[in-house]
Structure 1
């Protein structure tokens, strides 16, 4: 049985009402940017987490995941990250991409996956396993890249092209094709987002979020930065990024944020990289837009970034990019096994416990 219902992208918008912000007349951005060209009907993005505490090194689980990703029908690209959450658990996370749904379905139903995620599997006492997997039609996702880089998420396997659709409010929405004929709204108000930390240890829990929750992976890469620029970024900008990520996680009813984590990316063998990203889910695209446009925690991020630009005479090597997608309820898997109760979307399991 498929993990979700099959659904292709919608291309024909003839005669449908436009909801896009619209590119301003004679718009000429001050900086260059690139965006991904989606040449397949959809992509699958999966986060696979191994959660530990008490300094435990889950080498065996990490090796199992790496081996599984190398099997036939495995992902086309794999990133690895580490996140220490507010409860002082360490999460070893694989961020993986498939370029089509069918290949993912074959991989997900293979015996090599069943042995570590099948119904009878139970992790050892001090280990939690979780997965958040989304199938994204190509008209429900957008990306933006500060450089013509081919190592940013989907750009590892998809082409990117120059775009003028940036540097104005609403440009993120405009880069999502479906926004031309769909408001991508949610039926829920953010005021419902009151966390409830129920018992989850030893349990296997699946959360069923509603249509149109919004996923963002927004990333920073300071590998090419000079020592002076690196120092400015790490001392001035990064603290506000971490602070903003934690603020939206702790204040869901105010921001509409369902989950947020600031992670450091590492190599597949665990070596440190000068890369990080925030991965967050919002109740809708509109909630992400509202936070980005006017919330003090995000305006502070903008302020420190422009201070960095000014300090370095607007000639920086810091690479920035993001991926934003709006998700369909029948094409997501959010599942947590023996995890603590504030992992991912678990704190909202009481709201989204049934299939929509």
Structure 2
């Protein structure tokens, strides 16, 4: 039996009509949503990245460049100098909750060709949870010292540049943080199977839904978003690319704080082919993956013409051994609003090619695919965004908007 993608406690009488083709609609293939505990009403999604200062530079190994950030994430329980050390069980339990529920190590080339490495971390709770972690772990003091090179030590080592072995100093690279605090009514997920839930914020789920009705029709993403029941989620339109960049071209060596945008739409859309048998892997890498890359490159390089502020095609790295292929990627894009994302999905040649090639891919495998797909979408109020860039080039993220 099909379920609604919107859980019962977030369902509201609709003032905005659903896009469902008809009441008896049944999708041709199954998809699933993450179900969160009702006690979780907000999430934190924090992207913290280092950026090479030129296209020729490579930030490798990523774990070395990101060592301070990873240390703050892993040692936010007070056991490595970040707490009061009083040993009281209740205090230690409270501090342990400051650590994120999950984080991913990532790598990508941006619109200017610069190499970026970073983490995406997730917490249950809102801005206050992130701020408590940032203060208690020492991250906030470290972050504030980046611009003048006065960052204090991370919990695990005096500094990432103390060894003299050619490691990048923290001040030799640009840094940025893009932190989002969606309420659960402004967040939605979809997964190609019930076993694909170990992605994004869904790692905080209570469970997975059964097959959902809102899937495989234009507008199904909007229909899965609880807020869309009563809100059209219109965003801010940028009038020209010239206006976008003029304000930031001379500011790449300073700290830039970008104000939040009304109903900014953020999508993380992932692909995992690690469980494939050789024949399917070959078919995916030779016929499906190149079409996907072409679409992501369009959004990265020309996306602002259709309302996409920024797009990164990201490789996930193995936290234990980043030389190991994870066979996991995701597109990470920021759109003016959900409507802009919907228009690209429904009518632009690059996405129609992705969609058409995927249908052919499924047909060639008689529907027996091991490719795991997921996405999470956030539609954010201005106050649910924290956007800050230190010594980054002007095409970074939302700097130019």
Normalization by structure 2: what TM-score? 0.79
Query: Rg: which structure is higher?
Result: 2
Using a 3 Å threshold, how does the CA distance of structure 1 residues 290 and 110 change in structure 2: closer, same or farther?
same
Q: Distance in 1 between matches of 2:72 and 2:15?
A: 45
Please give the per-residue CA displacement for 1:258-312, whole angstroms capped at 9, x wherever unaligned: 1100011111132320100000000000111111011111001112212222222
Shift of 1:88: 3.1
Match status 1:67 vs 2:71: yes
Q: SS in structure 1 opposite 2:400?
A: helix
Q: Distance in 2 between matches of 1:190 and 1:200?
A: 20
Shift of 1:114: 2.4
- Alignment match, 1:304: 357
- Alignment match, 2:249: 198
Structure 1 contact 191–253 (Cα < 8 Å) conserved: no
Shift of 1:42: 0.7
Q: Distance in 1 between matches of 2:137 and 2:326?
A: 33
- Alignment match, 2:384: 331
Q: Distance in 1 between matches of 2:347 and 2:265?
A: 18
- Residue correspondence of structure 1 range 1-356 to structure 2 within 5 A: 13=12, 17-22=15-20, 24-39=22-37, 40-52=40-52, 53=54, 54-57=57-60, 59-70=63-74, 71-72=76-77, 73-101=98-126, 102-110=128-136, 112-118=138-144, 121-122=147-148, 124-149=170-195, 150-158=197-205, 159-162=207-210, 163-186=212-235, 188-194=236-242, 195-196=244-245, 198-269=249-320, 270=322, 271-348=324-401
Q: Hey, which bits of structure 1, 4+ residues long, moved more than 6 A?
A: none
Unpaired stretches in structure 1, ≥5 consecutive residues: 1-9, 349-356
What is the aligned-residue RMSD (CA, Å)?
2.1
Alignment size in residue pairs: 337
Q: Distance in 2 between matches of 1:198 and 1:191?
A: 18
Shift of 1:59: 4.8
Shift of 1:29: 1.6
Shift of 1:244: 1.1
Please give the per-residue CA displacement for 1:57-111, whole angstroms capped at 9, x wherever unaligned: 3654411111111113021111111102243321112111001124222102235
Normalization by structure 1: what TM-score? 0.88
